[in-house]
Homo-oligomer: A and B are copies of this chain.
């Protein structure tokens, strides 16, 4: 028995704040359209609560709640977020509370201060007045027919500094009729032991109906603190996909959910959702247009990527030896990386994709290893450009001959002359034919890409179906600015298939051309494979 997983009685409810606290993360941005798509997606997976924004805080959130008012889902509730009314204001006078009610959201979550420091120095009022704000605001929203959740902001800081007062804030919210009390580590500074003690103290002294945890990652402990809270009796977990959120982010749902469900045996989401976690996390990052953190536990591309030769050797014998869960449980997959740290096992495994019977001591395995280590020395990085890697391996195996050659190319640009300001001329050799073509584009790289595609698509129609989905440039030798060696990575997509190709040069256009050519070579060879498959049917 390796891992004790029991099916626990205690439920754990997910409250997703990706669209609110998540969007407070630096560089995270959701448009109104993104938010609507997001809500639909989360409703599909029956995510219980989605905190979708602060009605009235900005035009975007206003528009969202106007459009979302028509939506209703079977197992998902939208929550509007806001604060208590202001100091010296009655709930009836409060614009904040009026906006929350006007949003039409069935659940309203308001935060209130639970740390005496904040009451005195941020609200600049008395401890008693703060209790009134909490009690009356909650009560007013409840009276108006909403389910009200109360975020006890900075609960743990407050509880460590003035436990009696922090508890009285929670009591005020309970008196007002809050259904769930969420204990927040707003600054992300508390440690798991204090979370455990704090949760137990609240439960022992106040016995609230339901408790939640809202943790931030400023000490690298958001997941650990959330686990500690659940193990101490909390049932609602607040967090954001991919750990988005203010500063270092909120508790990462993409990590927390599988730990709770796969390792501790809580029933958090349907198993069918767990097996789509990788897809879901990537979907959210794409909506937010935020670079996906590939080192993320469970869902990152690196999460089950083995680089050290010894690890690869172990994994090839039994996957469990170096994988803490089965990657497919979360919709991810194991990968064997090729780098200069790779042992022969890594390269051999990869070459077997193209020649299943190749032996580990075949001379071509050694040849590939030498070539790859030398290119990596020049700045190539095949871990992130598996398309280019595979081309090289196929070439060594004698399975690849370039379907065309780029004989010559020129590009010129007059950027102040309108949109299609660049012209590329390319000369290609395709079999016996020479193609000489010019194409306009928006910028030099686009002009070159257009010319290549235009010249080739009559020969290889699959090219029209492929799409360039990402283009990344990285300066390798940072000390020499625009003269430095640059690495261009192009990501290409054909249906659901997606691969990276790479070019390295001190000339950005040359590096781009190299990556584009590899992208086209891979596209063409994938086109041939699907044609062959059809031919066999």
CB distance from A52 to the nearest CB of B (A): 14
Is A23 interfacial (CB 8 A cutoff)?
yes
CB distance from A425 to the nearest CB of B (A): 10
Is A313 interfacial (CB 8 A cutoff)?
yes
Given A192-B192, A247-B303, CB of A510 within 8 Å of CB of B24 = no
Q: Beta-carbon contacts of A440-462 to B below 8 Å, as 1s and 0s?
A: 01111110011000000000000
Copies of this protein chain in the complex: 2
User: Which of A136-144, A334-342, A529-537 interfaces with chain B?
Assistant: A334-342
Q: Which residues of B contact A191 (CB under 8 A)?
A: 227, 259, 263-264
Closest B-chain residue to A443, C-beta based?
B507
Scan residues 210-263 of chain A and give those whose CB is less than 8 A from a CB of chain B: 217-221, 223-224, 227, 231, 243, 246-249, 252, 255-256, 259, 263
Selected contact of A478 from candidates B248, B263, B286, CB within 8 Å: B286
Is A98 interfacial (CB 8 A cutoff)?
no
Given A187-B322, A413-B410, A473-B473, CB of A259 within 8 Å of CB of B295 = no
Most chain B Cβ neighbours within 10 Å, of A83, A154, A246, A450: A246
Let me know if B469 and A472 touch, CB within 8 A: no
Selected contact of A471 from candidates B221, B264, B411, B482, CB within 8 Å: B482
Let me know if B27 and A383 touch, CB within 8 A: yes
* Whole-angstrom CA separation of A324 from B470 in the bound complex: 37
Is A57 interfacial (CB 8 A cutoff)?
yes
CB distance from A292 to the nearest CB of B (A): 12
CB distance from A120 to the nearest CB of B (A): 9
Let me know if B263 and A219 touch, CB within 8 A: yes
* Whole-angstrom CA separation of A409 from B417 in the bound complex: 10
Given A26-B337, A263-B191, A317-B122, CB of A303 within 8 Å of CB of B413 = no
Let me know if A218 and B317 touch, CB within 8 A: no
Let me know if A444 and B509 touch, CB within 8 A: yes
Scan residues 495-513 of chain A and give those whose CB is less than 8 A from a CB of chain B: 505-510, 513
The interface on chain A, measured as residues whose beta carbon lies within 8 A of the other chain's beta carbons, has a size of 131
Q: Which residues of B contact A295 (CB under 8 A)?
A: 25-26, 217, 243, 247-249
Q: Which residues of B contact A482 (CB under 8 A)?
A: 441, 443, 445-446, 449-450, 468, 471
Let me know if A2 and B122 touch, CB within 8 A: no
* Whole-angstrom CA separation of A160 from B2 in the bound complex: 6
Q: Beta-carbon contacts of A184-211 to B below 8 Å, as 1s and 0s?
A: 0011110111000000000000000000
Let me know if A247 and B27 touch, CB within 8 A: no
Let me know if B219 and A221 touch, CB within 8 A: no
Scan residues 251-294 of chain A and give those whose CB is less than 8 A from a CB of chain B: 252, 255-256, 259, 263-264, 286, 289, 293-294
Let me know if B473 and A83 touch, CB within 8 A: no
Closest B-chain residue to A115, C-beta based?
B321
Let me know if B479 and A470 touch, CB within 8 A: no
Closest A-B pairs by Cβ, 6 of them: A189-B324, A468-B481, A224-B224, A412-B412, A443-B507, A220-B255
10 residue pairs of the A-B complex, CB under 8 angstroms, read A122-B314, A219-B263, A220-B223, A220-B224, A247-B305, A411-B444, A445-B482, A446-B508, A468-B481, A471-B481
Known: A218-B324, A219-B297, A248-B297. 9 other contacts (CB 8 A): A60-B340, A219-B259, A221-B224, A246-B306, A249-B295, A411-B413, A413-B507, A443-B482, A450-B482
- Residues of chain A at the chain B interface (Cβ within 8 Å): 1-3, 23-27, 29, 57-58, 60, 83, 117-118, 121-122, 124, 154, 157, 160-161, 186-189, 191-193, 217-221, 223-224, 227, 231, 243, 246-249, 252, 255-256, 259, 263-264, 286, 289, 293-298, 300-311, 313-314, 317-318, 320-325, 337, 339-341, 373, 376, 381, 383-384, 408-416, 419, 421-422, 441-446, 449-450, 467-476, 478-479, 481-483, 486, 505-510, 513
